Structure 1
Amino acid sequence: MPVKHDLYQDLGLSKQVVHERRAGDKRLDSLLTRYDAADGEVLKAESASASDEDVEKLKKKRLLIKDEIVAKLG
């Protein structure tokens, strides 16, 4: 069963800290919104038994967004 990816654990930051930063940064807000959408696409693809190739493409897309979030928070 697919499980939602824990972005906050990966970032090493609490949800509260990220949301405080998000509130004052439109770009970070946009990135986090895009990340949530990309994570949803991965979960949907995994639930629908999509091909491994399709799931990997979606995971790479999610990772690129996460890298942008890390850079923005760094």
Structure 2
Amino acid sequence: MPVPHDLYQDLSCSKEDIQQRRANDPHLNALFDKYDTIDGQVLKAEAAAAADDEVKKLKEKRLLIKDEISDKLTARS
């Protein structure tokens, strides 16, 4: 059964902190929206028992976006 990724826990940030940063940074906000979209695609592909290659590619995309979010958050700290 597919399980959504807890991005806030992965980033070691509170939801409130992330919301505040998103409100002040349109690019960061867009990255989070992009992450949510790709995470939904991963869950949908896993639930549909899609081909392993397809799921792997989606997960790699999700990871790249997460890395970009992490880099952006770290740069502001």
TM-score when scaled to structure 2?
0.94
How far does residue 41 in structure 1 lie from its aligned partner after superposition?
A: 0.3
Within 2, Cα distance between the matches of 1:24 and 1:18?
Answer: 10
How far does residue 64 in structure 1 lie from its aligned partner after superposition?
A: 0.3
Please name the residue that 2:46 is paired with: 46
Per-residue CA deviation, residues 35-62 of structure 1 (Å, 9 max, x unaligned), is 0000000000000000111100000000
Q: Quick check: 1:22 aligned with 2:22? A: yes
Q: Quick check: 1:57 aligned with 2:57? A: yes
Unaligned runs of 5+ in 2: none
How far does residue 15 in structure 1 lie from its aligned partner after superposition?
A: 0.8
How far does residue 12 in structure 1 lie from its aligned partner after superposition?
A: 0.3
Please name the residue that 2:9 is paired with: 9
Aligned CA-pair RMSD: 0.4
Number of equivalent positions:
74
Within 2, Cα distance between the matches of 1:37 and 1:22?
Answer: 16
Within 2, Cα distance between the matches of 1:37 and 1:60?
Answer: 14
TM-score when scaled to structure 1?
0.98
Please name the residue that 2:66 is paired with: 66
Please name the residue that 1:34 is paired with: 34
Unaligned runs of 5+ in 1: none
